[in-house]
Amino acid sequence: MLAAIRFLTCATLALCMSQTSAQPLFRSERNRTIEINGLRYGFCDVVQTPGDVRWTQLWIANHRFEPANRPEDVWLLAVPSVTAVLTVRHFTVDWGKDRRPK
C-alpha cells in the first residue's frame, strides 16, 4: 500500500511539474480588420495548421461570419454591400431637385 501511495505521489509531481506546450491550431494571415469603438470590422484569412486549410472570416461589429464553413452564414453573400448601394443611389438620384417633403 505504501508503494502505491509513493508511486501516485511521484507520478502526480512528475505530471504537474513537466512543462508542456501545444502549438496553435489556427493562425491568421492577411488580417484586414479595423477596430472602431471596440468593435471589429473587415476581413481576416484564417489557416488551420495541421491541414493547411484556409478560409476567410468576415467581421461586422464583433460578429464573425464564415460563409465557407457554416451554411447559415451564406446569406451574407447575397446581401449587397453598403458601398455598392450608396454608389448606385448617388448616380441615380437627381440631386438638383429639392428633396425635402412639403
pTM of the model: 0.49
pLDDT in tens, 17-73: 656 656 678 888 888 888 888 888 888 888 887 777 888 888 888 888 887 777 777
Cα angle: 37, vertex 38, 42; to 5 degrees: 95
Q: Which amino acid is at 5?
A: I
How many C-beta atoms lie closer than 10 Å to residue 64's C-beta?
13
Digit-coded pLDDT (tens) for 50-66: 777 888 888 888 888 88
> Considering Cα of 63, then 69, then 74, then 76, what sign does the dihedral take?
positive
Q: Give CA–CA dist 55/85, Å, rounded.
A: 26
Residue 71: is it exposed, middle or buried by C-beta count within 10 angstroms (0-12/13-18/19+)?
exposed
- All structural domains of the chain with their residue ranges: 24-76
